[in-house]
Structure 1
Amino acid sequence: MSDATDFAALNKLAPAQAVDFLQRRKMLTVTHSWQDLWHEEHAQQFTISRLTRVDLLATIQKMITKSVQGDLSRRDYMRNAKAALSEAGWWGEKTVIDPATGREVITRFDAARLKLIYDTNTRQAYAAGLWERAERNKAAMPYLRYITQRDARVRELHRQWDNVTLPVDHPFWNTHWPPCGYRCRCRAMSVSQREYDQGKTPDGSPMKKTAPEVLTRDWVNKRTGEVSAVPVGITPGFDYNVGQASTRAAALQKLVTDKLSTQEGNLALTAEALGMQAPKNAQVVADVPDWKSLGYPDLRLAKNVAVAPELLPGVQTNAEAVVILRDALGIPEGGAVVVTTPIEAVTILDSTLLHVVEKRRDQRERFANFVLPTLQSPSEIWEVAYDDATLRRRYLKVFSGSKYDLFVMVKVEPDGGIFWNMMQRDRKGLNALRVGERVYVDPAL
Structure 2
Amino acid sequence: MPTSEASAVDLSYAIGLPPEEAIAYFESKGYAIGFKWQEVWAEAHARSFTVAGVLKLDVLTDVREALLQALQHGETLADFQKRLQPVLEAKGWWGRGQIIDQATGEIQGKRLNPRRLETIFRTNMQSSYMAGRFQEQLANAEARPYWEYVAVLDNRTRPLHRSLHGRIFRYDDPFWRRFYPPNGWNCRCRVRTRSARDMERLDLDASSSEGRMETVEQPIDRKGNTRPAPAFRDPATGKLFVADAGFGYNPGQAAYQPDLSRYPPALAKQYLQEQSAR
Q: Is the TM-score greater than 0.5?
A: yes
Secondary structure of 1:144's match?
strand
In 2 relative to 1, CA 188–14 (structure 1 residues): closer, same or farther, beyond 3 Å? farther
Counterpart of 2:35 in structure 1 is 32
2:87 maps to what in 1? 84
Structure 2 counterparts to residues 264-343 of structure 1, below 5 A: none
Which of structures 1 and 2 has the bigger CA Rg?
A: 1
Q: 1:185 offset after TM fit, Å?
A: 0.6
Within-5 A mapping of 1:152-191: 152-191=155-194
Amino acid at match of 2:251: V
The answer on whether the counterparts of 1:50 and 1:96 sit within 8 Å (CA) in structure 2 is no
Q: Spell out, residue by residue over 1:308-333, the C-alpha distance to the aligned partner (whole angstroms, 9 max, x if none).
A: xxxxxxxxxxx9xxxxxxxxxxxxxx
Q: Return 5+ residue gaps in structure 1 as ranges.
A: 201-206, 252-318, 320-351, 356-445
Pairing 1:119–2:122 present: yes
2:138 equivalent to 1:135: yes
The residue that corresponds to 2:45 in the other structure is 42
Q: 2:25 aligns with which of 17, 21, 25?
A: 21
Q: What are the within-5 Å matches in structure 2 for residues 406-421 of structure 1?
A: none
Q: Give the match for residue 217 of structure 2.
A: 218
Secondary structure of 1:35's counterpart equals helix
Deviations 1:337-396 (A, max 9, x none): xxxxxxxxxxxxxxx9x53xxxxxxxxxxxxxxxxxxxxxxxxxxxxxxxxxxxxxxxxx
More strand by share: 1
Aligned counterpart, 1:75: 78
What secondary structure sits across from 1:152 in the alignment?
A: coil
Task: Indicate whether 1:195 and 2:198 are aligned.
Answer: yes
Q: Is contact 2:15-2:74 (8 Å) kept?
A: no
Question: Does 2:7 align with 1:8?
Answer: no
Stretches of structure 2 lacking an aligned partner (at least 5 in a row):
1-8, 232-240, 260-272
Name whichever structure is richer in helix by fraction. Answer: 2
| Matches of 2:108 and 2:56, distance apart in 1 | 15
Q: Hey, what's the Cα distance between the residues in 1 that align with 2:134 and 2:141?
A: 10
Q: 2:252 corresponds to which residue? A: 243
Which structure has the higher relative contact order (CA within 8 Å, separation 6+)?
2
Q: Which moved more, 1:186-195 or 1:227-236?
A: 227-236
- Separation in 2, partners of 1:12, 1:168: 27
Please list the CA deviations of residues 74-130 of structure 1 after superposition, one character each: whole Å capped at 9, or x if unmatched.
Answer: 322111211111110011124257xxxx99597342111100000000000011001
Alpha-carbon spacing, 1:23–1:106, altered in 2? closer, same or farther (3 Å): closer
* Structure 1 position 150 matched with structure 2 position 156: no
RMSD: 2.9
- CA–CA separation in structure 1 for the residues paired with 2:227 and 2:185: 21
| Partner Cα distance (2:14, 2:44) in 1 | 24
Q: Deviations over 1:226-255 (max 9, x none)?
A: 73134234101110111101233x67xxxx
Q: Aligned letter for 1:209?
A: A
Identity %: 27
- Going from structure 1 to structure 2, the CA distance change for 1:107 and 1:230 (only over 3 Å counts) comes to farther
Residues 112 and 226 of structure 1: CA distance in aligned 2, closer, same or farther (over 3 Å): closer
Q: Contact 2:98/2:110 (CA < 8 Å) preserved in 1?
A: yes
| Residue-pair matches, total | 238
Q: Aligned to 2:149, what secondary structure does the other structure show? A: strand
TM-score normalised by length of structure 2: 0.76
